[in-house]
Amino acid sequence: MAKIFNSIIETIGNTPIVKLNKVIGNTKHQFYAKIEYFNPGGSVKDRVALNFILEAERRGELKPGGTIVEATSGNTGVGLAMIASLRGYKCIFVMPEKISEEKRALLRGFGAKVIITPGNVDPEDPRSYISIAKTLVRIIPNSFCSNQYHNPDNVSQHYNGTGPELYEQMDGNVDVFVAGAGTGGTISGVGKFLKEKNSNIKIICADPIGSILYDLYYHKKIMDPPQPYKVEGVGEDMLPDNTHLDIMDGFEKVSDREAFQMARRLTLEEGLCVGPSSALALVGAMKFAEKLDKPSKILVLFPDNGRGYLSKAFNDQWMFENGFIDKVMDQKIVSSLIPTLERKVRVSLQVHSSVRESYEAMKINNCNEILIYEKENLLGLVKLDHLLDSLVSGKLTPMDSVIHLVKSSINFIDKDAPLEKVLEMLSDNKDIVLKNGDHNYIIDKRDIIELLL
């Protein structure tokens, strides 16, 4: 019998682990994903948001009617706002400008106030989202800053909750744990718990190119100054107290392009609509796996879902403008044309038909080419311009057989081929046919246009 929960808060945690099957390719390793978007607020941050509020209440730092202030990339804010709405607190969230509009709208939907700040400024800059959050706490009476980057309640929640949960789900059979680090709370807390259970478990951090954490781990200083990047919620331009580098066994750098493309692949190939930070963690895990000789069980934490990135990771034009796909068409394949082709009237004639019958068929069906068969066998096609040339030159009469006009140089294309290939062939004036089941479809430029409109 299904359990009835007293509030949405009770549904936080106990998220599933799913084995990955396709995106990891041919590998001797087994990859598993901890799917944190099953939390009610859609991310792993629900866990720490609840702990922040409960511990602050217990210590008397958060009083009835108070205001919660946080510098957030969105997910922590959602968790805090969701819980605050049930416990009677107001919320103000300060966010860098790169944060998606979907996340901003969701926070406002929970009744929070959202303040957007410049993205490319130092943390100490008074305009940074961290500095503004500190200022708000000083000037707003009865306010509390959950301070996710430095509040130890972040790490302790993952040490006491997330770590034991996933360890039990895997029956202790984990060789490698991989996650990103924004505040660092998840990887530090889970990593500490796993290390205490089995010191041989490797804790690997996936870090976006542009973050300084990789340098701090390997060089103990910043080698390359922080640079802007598009993945949200992971990587840093400073070292949070909650990022415990001593827990980790290595870092893997991942580019924006790799992360955003993998987010799409996870959705298409695994049915997991996750955000770019989840994809970044998987790419990092796959890179680390290449260094392992022994077949290993690799657990990757996927922090949130992809619905907060519909205007970015799942927007062809945005992906193209940011250089994550070479062309808008690169992410489409020929099979995406099938619904368009099936709506068209399929026009075909037998080889014994006349030139006049061919033209009448084109006129009635408003098309410029017709497939020609001999019984069930496709011989080729007849095009309107060839028909016109033959009549004007006197080579054929209206009653002659259409067989004299059949063009047999048809280019069949596979339904899994990139649609960009179709455009290249059409630009070379090649005749393209897609075979789908028992049917053959001529592909022309109008089909491409209809797909894109």
Q: Is the dihedral of CA 213, 158, 32, 332 positive or negative?
A: negative
| DSSP per-residue codes, 135-163 | HHHHHSTTEEE--TTT-THHHHHIIIIIH
CA distances (Å), origin 449, targets 320, 328, 411, 452: 18, 13, 20, 5
* CATH of the domain spanning 1-331, picked from 3.40.50.1100, 3.40.50.150, 3.20.20.70, 1.20.200.10: 3.40.50.1100
Higher pLDDT, 254 or 99: 254
Positions of E strands within 141-220: 143-145, 176-180, 202-208
Does the pLDDT at position 146 exceed 60? yes
- Interval 393-426: pLDDT, tens: 888 888 988 888 887 678 888 888 888 788 888 8
Superfamily of domain 334-452: CBS-domain (3.10.580.10)
pLDDT band at 365 (very low <50, low <70, confident <90, very high): confident
- The counts of H helices and E strands in the chain are 16, 16
> Angle, to 10 degrees, between the axis of helix 101-109 and the axis of helix 75-87?
10
pLDDT score of 2: 61
Active site residues: 45
- Interval 290-324: pLDDT, tens: 999 999 999 999 999 999 899 899 988 898 889 89
Higher pLDDT, 429 or 41: 41
Does the pLDDT at position 112 exceed 90? yes
Percentage of the chain beyond pLDDT 70 is: 98
* CATH 3.40.50.1100 in the chain, residue ranges: 1-331
